[in-house]
């Protein structure tokens, strides 16, 4: 049952991004929260900076607004493939999970690249019947990003 809920959350999250419904993306998080994109190397060494670092839902909304209104970059879309979560429930009622992912980036001219692989290291809580991310650490296997990372992972 819990595994089913986590899987559904991951599926809805990936679809929101891949279908370009980014305005819904912050709603997958609690407020405050922690969303961070980092590398396995930084994660292992305990280095806390992220490529993206947001600790409120407002900061997530600002990311989306910047992509829509402010930033200049080539049009692109993602296709997320999200694996099966390894789940452990905590005493405090929070759910912890680690889930592998793979993201293909498709540019406007049709170029497809394997853009990122890694794992989501998540802490989720139930808010009024909805499971939300209190913390989502996107731990990329590689430290190298091709050109730029605009759309969230």
Partner 1 sequence: MSGALPQGACDSHCHVFGPAARFPYAEPRSYTPDDAPLEAYLGDEVLGRVRRVLRRPLRVMGRFVQALPNNWKLYVENVKDTYHASLLHAFFGTFRITRLTQGGGVLVSPDGGHHASTTIARADDARSTAYRDQGIRSEKEQYRLADPSLLDAVDEFGDGIQLQILTVFPGFVLQQISNCLAVRQVLPKGPSAMELHWTYLGFADDTDEMRRRRLKQSNLVGPAGYVSMEDGCVGGFVQRGVAAAGEALSVVNMGGEGAESQETRATEASVRGFWKAYRRYMGQ
Q: How far is CA 30 from CA 33, 116, 139, 142, in A?
A: 5, 25, 20, 28
Give least dist CB 79 to partner 1, A.
19
Restricted to residues 21-50, the positions that interact with partner 1 (CB under 8 A) are 37-39, 41-42, 47-50
Binds partner 1 by CB under 8 A, chosen from 20, 23, 53, 112: 53
In the block, tokens 């992220």 appear at 50
* 8 vs 143 by CB, closer to partner 1: 143
Number of alpha carbons in the 13 Å side-chain half-sphere of residue 94:
12
DSSP secondary structure of 81-92: EE---EEEE-TT
Write each residue from 72 to 111 as x if it is in contact with partner 1 (CB under 8 A), else as -, in one continuous string. Answer: xxx-------------------------------------
């Amino acid at each position: 049952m819990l595994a089913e809920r986590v899987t559904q959350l991951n599926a809805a999250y990936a679809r929101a991004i891949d279908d370009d419904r980014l305005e819904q993306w912050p709603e997958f998080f609690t407020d405050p929260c922690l969303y961070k994109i980092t590398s396995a190397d930084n994660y292992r060494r305990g280095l806390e900076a992220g490529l993206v670092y947001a600790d409120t839902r407002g900061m997530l909304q600002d990311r989306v607004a910047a992509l829509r209104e402010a930033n200049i970059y080539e049009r692109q879309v993602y296709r997320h493939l999200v694996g099966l979560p390894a789940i452990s429930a905590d005493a405090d009622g929070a759910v912890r999970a680690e889930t592998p992912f793979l993201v293909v980036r498709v540019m406007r001219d049709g170029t497809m690249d394997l853009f990122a692989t890694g794992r989501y290291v998540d802490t989720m809580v139930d808010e009024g019947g909805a499971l939300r991310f209190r913390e989502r650490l996107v731990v990329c296997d590689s430290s190298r990003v091709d050109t730029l990372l605009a759309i969230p992972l």
